[in-house]
Amino acid sequence: MHPVLKTVLQRLGLGLLTLFVVSVLIFSSLELLPGGFAEAILGQGATPETVAAFNREIGLDRPATTRYLEWIGGVLTGDFGYSYAGRGGSIKQSVTDLIAPRLYNTFFLAIMTAIVAVPLSLILGILAALYRNSWYDRIVNSTTLTTIATPEFFIAYLLMYFFAIQNKWFYSLSTVSDSTGFIEHIYRAALPAITLTLVIVAHMMRMTRAALINLLASPYMEMAQLKGTPRREAIVKHALPNAWAPIATVIAFNLAYLVVGVVVVEVVFVYPGIGQLMVDSVSSRNMPVVQACALIFAATYILLNLLADIISIVTNPRLLHPK
């Protein structure tokens, strides 16, 4: 078997094992949360008998191991179960149907941000590495450090104050629905996207800059300069091909953060994404929805990091041309 194929299969196996472990941790952590859905619905004055009857109605009286096996078995077939909020009535609300529109909104926001943030951060990072220690490099580094040191929710509130309250350029609350048009959706999601862009560009630009600086200081780049190769040609022909692996890792890591890290931004702007749904479900102890949201976040993060590992492996000359 070719070394590249063997290493990729090993990474895929590790990714699946990691996802299994994460599913166990998610289920176990939620089981340890104080209170429950019955207490949240019935209130503090509910008698133990009423709580027990309610738990029996929604299936929480069964052992945790049985419920986990049923849940993970359903997940493997694409069935996340039913929301507790729909139990006990004539109509059961599927978790999949509940999450689907919210997941679309979250991915819409993440893709909208990535389209702007990825090329912008790569350009800024490459220029900062090429003009290291210049005034441009110092200004960009100072700005990105300030952005990284500032909490996301604070950036969001600042943008909301200046662009929505003071100048009325955008909506302060990014509420969208199924009937919202594509252009209107972009307009309403502008402030959350700008908030995420500022954070993502800061992280990605600094990581891109560091990766390129390490490559520019490598022996083969010094040899190219000693041979009289023009700087631009040396960078295009020698540095950038070897920089794809670290740059791909940077992009995948930050894209994973985009999907997983939108929770705070969605809550601040009341954007109806999966992060907002997860927070609301935790408050009401609607555990099937929380489990599904957390597993989707974990699977996305693992998948994107796994993709970065595979790109690094495929672009590794030592594996592509084994002796």
Same domain, yes or no: 204 and 239: yes
What's the confidence (pLDDT) of residue 2? 67
User: For residue 232, which phi and psi values (nearest 5 degrees)?
Assistant: -65, -40
- Give the pair of three-digit tokens for residue 42: 């019935």
Same domain, yes or no: 18 and 141: no
Same domain, yes or no: 260 and 123: yes
Report the number of distinct structural domains present in the chain. 2
Same domain, yes or no: 27 and 143: no
Q: Is 154 exposed, middle or buried (0-12, 13-18, 19+ CB in 10 A)?
A: exposed
Same domain, yes or no: 154 and 286: yes
What's the confidence (pLDDT) of residue 38? 66
- Give the pair of three-digit tokens for residue 61: 């009286």
Identity at 70, one-letter amino acid code: E
In a domain, 208, yes or no: yes
pLDDT means per 10 residues, the chain with 323 residues, are: 74 87 86 66 67 72 82 84 61 79 88 89 84 84 84 87 87 82 88 89 83 79 79 72 74 78 84 86 81 88 82 66 56
The residue out of 86, 109, 129 marking a domain boundary is 86
Range of the domain at 217: 99-306
- pTM exceeds 0.85, yes or no: no
In a domain, 317, yes or no: no
What's the confidence (pLDDT) of residue 36? 64
What's the confidence (pLDDT) of residue 289? 87
Work out the angle between the directed axes of helices 95-130 and 262-269 (0-180°, nearest 10): 110
